[in-house]
Amino acid sequence: MATSKDLPDVGGFIRDLRRNAKISLRQLAEQAGVSNPYLSQIERGLRKPSAEVLQQLASALRVSTPAMYLRAGLLDDKEGQGVLAAIAVDPELTMAQKQSLTQIYETFRRENARLAEATEAAGAAETAEKAAATEPATAPEAPATVAAAATGPVTPEGTPTEAVLESVAVTEAGAAPAPTTAAPQDTAARLAARKAAGAAEEEQS
């Protein structure tokens, strides 16, 4: 695999790209936002451009910034940059073919990175949904409107029956006072006895 030492100088690379694009030195300088003398010194190897200037030149020449950085020795041969370096130094490819291959390669890498991010996000969402589905449901709290003494039969809705509520009311109010009058049944029996006794006396007389 080619290294930065095996690559031509960045100035010559820029000059070849400019000539292949059929633009003048002045036109490239204007498009890249640098001065004409400064660009001339870069092409002749007298000045070493900064990363920012290389990015501007790459944009003006319609080449990838990593490829330009590789030519300048600003990138290591890793994370796919070796492929760009191999394309850049391949003597059997024309400059236009190198530019096209570089752009296609970077497009594929960006697309794969987007797909990987989307897959990771979908997996995280699915994991969160499964975790939410397996969480135990919280039991509803018992109604606090019924007194603690109201124990016993309840209705289907879970509320105490009337008998239970009455027992609670009796418990809270205390025992009922004893009746002071005779029961109705006892009074009727006494009246009947008195009538029978009176009838017996009349017969004897």
Phi first, then psi, for residue 19 (nearest 5°) are -70, -35
- What's this model's pTM, rounded to 2 decimal places? 0.39
Please give the radius of gyration of the chain, using alpha carbons only, rounded to the nearest integer.
51
The encoded tokens of residue 72 equal 């300048």
Residue that is written with structure tokens 């009058």 in the block: 181
Tens of pLDDT, residue by residue over 100-136, are 887 888 788 888 989 999 999 998 888 888 888 876 6
Q: For residues 7 and 89, what is the distance between their CA atoms, to the nearest angstrom?
A: 7
58 contacts 38 by C-beta, under 8 angstroms:
no
Residue that is written with structure tokens 């949904």 in the block: 129
Element (H, E) at 200: helix 184-204
The domain 10-107: what is its CATH number?
A: 1.10.260.40
Q: What is the pLDDT of residue 18?
A: 92
Task: Using the Cα atoms of residue 153, residue 156, residue 162 and residue 165 in order, give the sign of their dihedral.
Answer: positive
List 160's β-bridge partners, or say none.
154
Angle between helices 81-89 and 65-72 (to 10 degrees): 70
Tens of pLDDT, residue by residue over 25-53, are 999 999 999 999 999 999 998 988 888 89
